[in-house]
Amino acid sequence: MSAHALDHGLDDLAATARAALVREIDASGAWDADPVWRDAFESVPRHLFVPYYYVGALGGYERRWGEDPIPRRREDWVRGAYLDAPLATRVRDGELLSSSSQPSLMAKMLTELEVRDGDAVLEIGAGTGYNAALLSHRLGDDLVTTVDLDAEITESARRHLAAAGHHPTVVTCDGARGCPERAPFDRVIATCTLSAIPRTWLAQCRPGARILAPFATGLIALRVRDTGHAEGRFLHTSAYFVPLRGGTRTEPELPDAGLEGLPRRARDHELFRFLLTLTAGGLAPDEAYALWEHEAWPVRERYGITVGEGRTWAWLDDPEGPHTWPLP
């Protein structure tokens, strides 16, 4: 037996678990603005994209897989595949390299991508192929391109997609450089955390394109004006993804010096940590804290990013200031 050919009992269990997941996402309101995505999540079986995954265990990870010889463990694998939770799918030397994102967050991101019929979409970070399958269900295979730096990841994504009946373009390349041979794109969605906005993406987008990407523990939604300009605000949603890997990646670092002198309510507050990450290199921790207090603990939606000619910067409320910070 393989994960792609379940016995009758597991097939019924998968269908029941998938229906329950769809109801849970429905109740969260994730796709209220574009309920067409409900059909995609109802139709695309997630378990085909996670023939094995890892769950946290004492001292490391425990593997669950569809070909486990113990029936009870195969049932646990199916149920876990349809939890509204991220799943670790590739681990090396204790480091998480790839995962299948939380389905409700995926639904929120796909809705916020504001896809229209006929849009060409570039996905940065192929992962298991599940997100590409959802896009292909909505748009058709020909309009979806997904890329990843790791050939093992893209090859397994191709297999999973084919098992689910989808054949979008899957390319092994550095996602930070986009995919010029498939451009131009109307939408770009990243499923990995960025520490800089690659200008190559803008050059591969049509005017008016939308870019949605994790950045500084949030989700930035940029509208592309032309090859040298894009601007947008963060969504209210928090987001934690595996970092983008590739030749143009830079590592954001939270400053340690200075944090010990700040109140615990700030050091432990998610929105303050978001501000620290966004302003690393632009503000000292005490300056960030003073701003945070003065502006009454600003929510993510008040922040934005502008990509202009020769520079990229983050801002609070207004891209022209007074609160702006340079970005890589």
Residue type, 67: E
**Cβ atoms 159, 153 nearer than 8 A:** no
Rounded CA-CA distance 271/292 in Å is 9
- Helix-helix angle 36-43:130-139, to 10 degrees: 130
- From the CB of residue 256, how many other CB atoms can be counted at a distance below 10 Å? 8
Using the CB atoms, write b or e for 162-178: b if 16+ within 10 Å: ebbebebbbbbbbbbbb
* Residue 87 DSSP class: E
Amino acid at the residue 166: H
- Please tell me what DSSP assigns to residue 243: B
Angle at 92 between CA 86 and CA 93, to 5 degrees: 120
Report how far residue 326's alpha carbon sits from residue 252's, in angstroms, rounded to the nearest whole number: 13
H helices present in the chain, as ranges: 8-28, 36-43, 71-81, 103-112, 130-139, 151-163, 199-203, 264-267, 270-279, 285-294
203 in helix, strand or coil?
helix
Cβ-Cβ contacts under 8 Å for 37 (sequence gap 6 or more): 31, 107, 110, 111, 134, 138
DSSP state of 193: B
Is residue 156 annotated as a catalytic residue, yes or no? no
SS3 51: coil
Active-site residue, selected from the candidate residues 2, 28, 43, 98 = 98
Residue 30 is encoded by which pair of tokens? 């994730």
Q: How many residues does the chain have?
A: 328
Q: List, by residue number, the catalytic residues.
A: 98
